[in-house]
Amino acid sequence: MTMSDSTSQGCGSVHCACSGQMQIVPASINGIALHEPGEALDAETLRERAYTELLRQRAVHQGLLPRFSGLVAPTLNEAERHVIEAMTDDEVVSPDPTDDECQRYYEANKNHFIVGQALHVRHILFAVTPGVNVHALTQRAEAALLDLIRKDVPPGRFEQLAAELSNCPSSAEGGDLGWVTPEDCAPELANELFFQSDSRWGMGVHPRLVHTRFGLHIIEVLGRKKGTLPAYEEVADAIRQRLQHQSRATALRQYMRLLVGQAKVEGIELEGADSPLVQ
C-alpha cells in the first residue's frame, strides 16, 4: 500500500466497552517513521521520502553521515544531499556503451535521427473524454474509416466527415493540420507517423485507427518530406550519451531495489529485491 496502515484498538466485540477506534500507523523504514502521526501525504511524496530515507540510512551505515536518534525521518540539508550524491556516484556502477552497441542502436533507430522530415496530414479526432462510451465511440470511428477507404469514396468526403464528426478545431478546415514534424506531435502519434521501422505510412488514408492520449484518429497523408539521415559519425556522441543515461538509470533502479530488499519497510509498498542486483 502507499498510504499508512491502520490498526484498531479494542477487541471488536459488541459486548465490550473498549473503543475500537482506528489509529494511524506511520509508514517507516527500519523503524524510522516517514511522517508525523496524523500527517497525510500523497503517494508520490511518501515514496520520495521513503527512498530518501533509504539513502540516508545507507550513508549512515557507510560512516558518511552521523547516526540519527530521532523517531521521524529528518529533512536533509544541502551538505547531506551532496554526501548522498557522492555515495551513489561511487556505489552505482554503470558500464559505458561500446562502439558496437552505439552502432547497433543507430541501425535500429535510424528514423529517430532523420533531419527535416515532415508530413502534410489531416485527421478526424474522436475524443475520449470522461464518461464517454468508448465502445460506441470506436464503432463510430471505424464506420467513418470504412467509409473513407472505399474505392468509390466521393471527393470531399473526408472534409465533410471532419466537419461533422471531429472534436478537433481543425474540423473547420476539413481536418487539415498542415505540415507537421515529430516535434509537433504527441509522442504516441509521432511514433506512429515517423518512427516505425516499416513503411506503413504511404500517401492517402491510413487503413486503421490511430490511438493517442486524446482519442482515436483517422489520418490521411497528403504530402511527405523525407528529410535526410545523418551519417553515424555525426550522431555517435549523442547516441553514446543517450545510452550512458539509460545505463545509469537502470543501475540506479537496481541499486534502490537492493536497498529496499535489505530494509524493513512498513506502511508503504516499494519495489524491492531479495538478492543483490548491483555488482
For the entire predicted model, the pTM comes to 0.67
pLDDT, tens digit (0-9, with 9 covering 90-100), for 47-87: 999 999 999 999 999 999 999 888 999 999 999 999 999 99
| Distances 116 to 26, 177, 180, 226 between C-alpha atoms, Å | 54, 17, 10, 7
> Cβ–Cβ contacts within 10 Å for residue 137, how many?
17
Above 50 in pLDDT, residue 5?
A: no
| Domains observed in the chain | 6-95+247-266 (no CATH), 116-225 (3.10.50.40)
Q: Higher confidence at residue 17 or residue 86?
A: 86
